[in-house]
Amino acid sequence: MQNSAVKEFEQYHQIKILQNWKNAERCVEILAIFHKKLRFAMGQLQEDDFHKNPTVAIVFQLINRIYEQINGGISCICTKNHASSEVLSRTAIESSVNVLFFLKDETDSKVFSWLKKYIDEDMEHISDWEKSLTTQEEKDVHLPRIQTRRMLNEYKKDFVQEYIEQVKNILNIDENFFLPKKILKRFQEVGHETTYHTVYTRLSATTHLNAEDTISYMMAKISGNKELELQIGLEASAFSEFMQIYALFFYGKVVEQFYFKYATQTDHEIAQSIDELLSIMNSIGAEWDW
């Protein structure tokens, strides 16, 4: 009998779970567990908690975006778009690391710094956009749009600054806090530097269209060995599925940290589900001798 979480997933996304992906249904079930626990932790907060933790709603919204990315990655595999799922896995892992970095300590200072960082970087991009215009024809088309972008940027800048001013007197916020510019540093801060080197960079193959997969394809074709060609294809699919589970694992770590920080307790079902994902990944690794 089909699990309700799987049935809801299929109805919502209007797709069927890929039957030859043996871990698909369990991944969907665990995703539903994590999402339910996230919503429960948020529901435990009282009005006074939001005054003490003004950025909790922002962090909650970011975690929901990761949830959507995981849903998208699973959907890609179920529609046999494995390479596309790797892009979403990479996005979900990077997003998870950023949120774990926020949740570790000084959450409010980090989130406010993150908001201001976007404003500053957006203004730099707008200035570079204007500098790139070399002809009058380009300027006639782009300058009105640049003016609109600058105006929107100023609105956002004023909004963020006003938000900070409203809460900084009741919170110990470090307005001079700067986020580490390199994602590697954030992986290091949350204790996952090895993941950066072994997982995150490998997922760049699809995101940046580097030569890794192409070289494997060329080697298989030139060898003339059809069995080898098939094995490389099957391993590529297994890699995509493994990375999707890895992204789900990171989402679970985020939910676990959020739950602990704001519901002020641990949850055994979250921990057990995370351990189960590790076990599944170890099985896949053993099967392919990774």
CA 141 to chain centre: 35
DSSP state of 181: S
The Cα 43–Cα 128 span in angstroms is 44
State mean pLDDT over 136-140: 96
- Measured CA to CA in angstroms, residue 261 lies from 42, 53, 104, 105 at distances of 11, 11, 9, 10
DSSP state of 15: -
Between residues 4 and 207, which one has the greater pLDDT?
4
241 and 234 in contact (C-beta within 8 Å)? no
What does the pLDDT look like over 7-25, one tens digit per residue? 999 999 999 998 888 899 9
23 and 273 in contact (C-beta within 8 Å)? no
Which of 95, 98, 89 is closest to 242 using CA atoms? 89
Share of the chain above pLDDT 90, in %: 69
The backbone torsions φ and ψ at residue 239, rounded to the nearest 5 degrees and listed phi first, read -60, -45
pLDDT at 48 over 70: yes
Model pLDDT, residue 73: 97
Helix (H) or strand (E) holding 243: helix 226-262
Model pLDDT, residue 174: 76
Residue 180: left if φ>0, alpha if ψ -120 to 50, beta else—which one?
A: beta
What does the pLDDT look like over 198-227, one tens digit per residue? 999 888 777 888 888 888 889 888 988 888
Place of tokens 């000084």: 106
State mean pLDDT over 72-82: 95
Model pLDDT, residue 1: 47
- Report the chain's terminal Cα–Cα distance, integer Å: 34
10 Å Cβ neighbour count for 37?
20
Work out the pLDDT band at 176, boundaries 50, 70, 90. Answer: confident
Model pLDDT, residue 18: 81
Place of tokens 């099985």: 283
Residues written for the chain: 290
The Cα 259–Cα 2 span in angstroms is 29
The Cα 49–Cα 248 span in angstroms is 28
Angle at the Cα of 188 from the Cα atoms of 182 and 190, rounded to 5 degrees: 115
Work out the pLDDT band at 2, boundaries 50, 70, 90. Answer: low
Model pLDDT, residue 202: 85
Model pLDDT, residue 278: 96
Domain spans in the chain, listed from the N-terminal domain onward: 4-106+191-288, 107-176
Model pLDDT, residue 41: 94
Work out the pLDDT band at 276, boundaries 50, 70, 90. Answer: very high
260-268's contacts with Cβ under 8 Å and 24+ in sequence apart are 261/103, 261/107, 262/41, 262/42, 262/44, 262/45, 262/49, 262/53, 262/56, 263/40, 263/41, 263/44, 267/37
State mean pLDDT over 161-189: 85
The Cα 194–Cα 192 span in angstroms is 5
Structure tokens at 284: 């896949």
Place of tokens 């997922």: 203
Share of the chain above pLDDT 70, in %: 99
